Amino acid sequence: MLSSQISYQIIRSSRKTMSLEIKADGSVVVRAPLRLSEAKIQKFVEEKQEWILKNLEKIQKRDAQKENVQKLSALERQHLQNKACVVIPRRVAYYAEKLGVSYGKITLRQQKTRWGSCAANGKLNFNWLLILAPPEVLDYVVVHELCHRREMNHSQAFWKEVEKILPDYRERQKWLKDNGWRLMEEGF
């Protein structure tokens, strides 16, 4: 579909509300209820046009900068993976004790879109590329995932838990949002 200057794909499902997603490649996806009219969807996109264009511009700038990102050699990747296998579990143990939470198995892998996750059973997953981030940013992701051991959501209570341990978590979060894509690019 095309709304003035924005083309978008519609994915219909049994949901009750509409949502908007801009994928990493710059494609725009609108998720909408099955019976919602095209006119209402188009109006929704038009209302969000400024936000969409702002984010598409960010993606274009990021893509232009990607050309300057150096990829890691196989030897560098192996060295960093080994380092991550030592550093990340240590940080998890340190902050788990501070938070008074338990956790299960820690898995490190390379992911294209996630820095970490926490399963309900306590299993923790981390992107080994975090080892390329400043230590305080790595610590933010560790604390974020460990706080899910108390709150399995992103509610106000969850963010209060994060803030108790890292009062400056917003700065760390912003660094990851602004610069994390570079780390992902170096690793892939």
- The fold of 74-187 is Zincin-like (3.30.2010)
Residue 105, SS3 per DSSP? coil
Q: Residue 186 belongs to what H/E stretch?
A: helix 169-187
Question: What confidence score (pLDDT) does residue 134 get?
Answer: 96
3-state SS track over 125-161: EEEHHHHHCCHHHHHHHHHHHHHCCCCCCCCHHHHHH
The pTM of the full predicted model, rounded to 2 decimals, is 0.67
51 within 8 A of 31, measured Cβ to Cβ: no
Q: How far apart are CA 21 and CA 103, in angstroms?
A: 32
What pLDDT was estimated at residue 133?
A: 93
- pLDDT tens, per residue, the chain with 188 residues: 545 578 899 999 999 999 999 887 888 999 999 999 999 999 999 999 999 998 888 877 776 665 555 677 888 889 999 999 999 999 999 999 999 999 999 999 998 889 999 999 999 999 999 999 999 999 999 999 999 999 999 999 999 999 999 999 999 999 999 889 888 876 64
Residue ranges of domains in the chain: 2-66, 74-187
Residue 174 burial (C-beta neighbours within 10 Å; 0-12, 13-18, 19+)? exposed
d(CA 149, CA 102): 7
